[in-house]
Amino acid sequence: MVINFRLLLSALLLFNLVLPVFSFKPSGGVLVLDGDDDYAILPLAEHGYIIPADTFDFTVEVWFYPKSKPKRREKNIILSQQVVFGLTSNTQHCDLDKNQICCYGAAYLEGEKVHGVIGGNVEVERDQWNYLAIIFKDGAFNFAYNNRLSQTRFGRVDRVAAERRGIEAYKSFFVGGYHKVPVGIKDGGAEWRTARFHGEIDAIRFSSIARYDMPAERGIYPFEPPHRFVSDAHTLALWNFDEPAGTDHFQDTSGNGKTLIGMNGAATSGALAVNPTSTSLTSTWGQIKSEAR
């Protein structure tokens, strides 16, 4: 019995050493957005589209912390260009509890004769760090959100759109509330609201490959989000927002020169938001990052 106890104790210690809660090197600062009129932008005229035309597989991912939810009939954009992430007050497609917000993700895709927007709505956590990714591979639209992944397949689209159609201002890449978006019809015309986002962004990465193993069939699957983004030969752009607090120019650590410019007060901060009452995966991740500073 004593030998078994020692073996059990050794196994537990070995498990804790080999498989910690997170086995990554914590990063530095975050991009802080106050939800008023601040944003960061990468102008289309200077940089074009981040994902090259005729890219068949790609990944766009972000760690973010929402500090408020959208008001009625609002869409709060987290980031937007060929791929869009945001929060929405339209919750009919989300099964929310009191601690969640409805989030949308979409991509502008095309095939030989078609061109359109593919997307979906999922649940993310309020007052916590959240992970989102769109992973497109073999015509499958995979939407990862924290520890789950939803796959939908479309037979007529197989690559990113060469350009985004529609409002000219939305063709630039931006993070946060850049322009107004149509939310409905009022007095015979379109009603517009500012696409603000109130919260923090820790990292954004664009890749020219599908970075993770994807399921073979459509459905909902478990997913383990990466704990840190690093740059490699497949990285199109990577912003870690590790600049000193108060910086409003955010370097692209992929080496591709896509420097984001903060506008109207958008800047970095070293004060990472953490919900001290939560023990969820995403909150623990944020806590580790905060304590590492």
CA angle 63, 76, 291 (to 5 degrees): 30
Q: What is the tally of structural domains in the chain?
A: 1
Would residue 3 count as lying in a domain? no
pTM of this prediction exceeds 0.85: no
Token representation of residue 141: 């639209």
- In a domain, residue 17? The reply is no
Sign of torsion over alpha carbons 212, 218, 224, 228: positive
Lowest model confidence (mean pLDDT) among 83-97, 117-131, 177-191, 273-287? 273-287
Do 228 and 105 touch, CB atoms closer than 8 A? no
At 90 the pLDDT is 85
**Residue 21, in any domain of the structure:** no
Domain membership flag for residue 2: no
Least confident of 116-120, 124-128, 190-194: 190-194
Contact 246, 267 (CB under 8 A): yes
pLDDT in tens, 58-83: 999 999 999 998 887 777 899 999 99
Residues 103 and 145: beta-carbon distance below 8 Å: yes
Range(s) of the domain holding residue 235? 29-291
Residue 12 lies in a domain: no
Our separate counts of H helices and E strands in the chain read: 3, 20
Partnered with residue 250 across adjacent β-strands are: 260
Q: Is residue 24 part of a domain?
A: no
d(CA 143, CA 176): 20
Look up the CATH number of the domain holding residue 270: 2.60.120.200
| Strand, coil or helix: 215 | coil
Asked if residue 13 is part of any domain, the answer here is no
Tell whether 205 is covered by a domain: yes
Q: What is the predicted pLDDT for the residue at 121?
A: 94
Rounded Cα distance, 102 and 124, in Å: 6
Are 199 and 31 in contact by the 8 Å Cβ rule? The answer is: no
